[in-house]
Amino acid sequence: MPATPLRPTFSSMARVGGTGAKRRRGSWRSGILGLLLLAGCDDAPRGSRTESACQPDPLALHVEVVAADGALVRGATVVATNLDSNVSITALTNDHGVTTAIDEVLAPGPLHVVATAGSKTSSAVRVEWTCDPCHCAPVPPDLRLQLSE
């Protein structure tokens, strides 16, 4: 009769190691529990998360208003109007003649942007939007509006 090879069983493996095997088995369980707890703490995407991957701050159009001589105009009124929806945003330039109050709230759709200060007005400039799933970016991103003399 040919000899059958001996196959170790779980109970024989546990006996071979003595108390050390029990300690290793306990460490193994603790290690698995630790890995499960760590898996919930990483920043990996989860199907159940409700957070958006998009940044909450809207993209804005940078508008600079200058006088005919090139000087920056503080307190100029800038009006951007969406040509499709007729919705507009009105903003004032800061001490540096700049406003960033015109943002993607007006997107999508083309805008006409015009500046006024007293009786002086700039020509209207057309701005388009390039949109992705998160934001719409103004094209061009920067405008320099020159007031008439």
> Is 118 exposed, middle or buried, given 0-12, 13-18 or 19+ CB atoms closer than 10 A?
exposed
For residue 36, the model assigns a pLDDT of: 53
For residue 35, the model assigns a pLDDT of: 54
For residue 44, the model assigns a pLDDT of: 46
Q: How many of the other CB atoms lie within 10 Å of CB of 110?
A: 15
pLDDT exceeds 70 at position 2 = no
pLDDT tens-digit readout, 28-59:
566 555 555 555 554 544 444 445 577 778 88
Confidence of residue 13 (pLDDT cuts 50, 70, 90): very low
pLDDT tens-digit readout, 86-142:
999 999 999 999 999 999 999 999 999 999 999 999 999 999 999 998 899 999 999
pTM over 0.95: no
CA distance 114 to 147: 9
How many Cα atoms within 13 Å fall on the side-chain side of residue 44?
6
Q: How many of the other CB atoms lie within 10 Å of CB of 76?
A: 27
For residue 33, the model assigns a pLDDT of: 54
Rg (CA), the chain: 33
For residue 50, the model assigns a pLDDT of: 45
Higher local confidence (pLDDT), 26 or 86: 86
With contact defined as beta carbons under 8 Å apart, do 92 and 78 qualify?
Answer: yes
Higher local confidence (pLDDT), 39 or 69: 69
For residue 15, the model assigns a pLDDT of: 47
For residue 77, the model assigns a pLDDT of: 98
- Pick from 92, 88, 94, 130: which is nearest to 112 by CA? 88
The amino acid that residue 60 corresponds to is A
Whether the bond into 108 is cis, omega within 30 of 0:
yes
Cα dist from 113 to 99, 127, 148, whole Å: 12, 7, 15
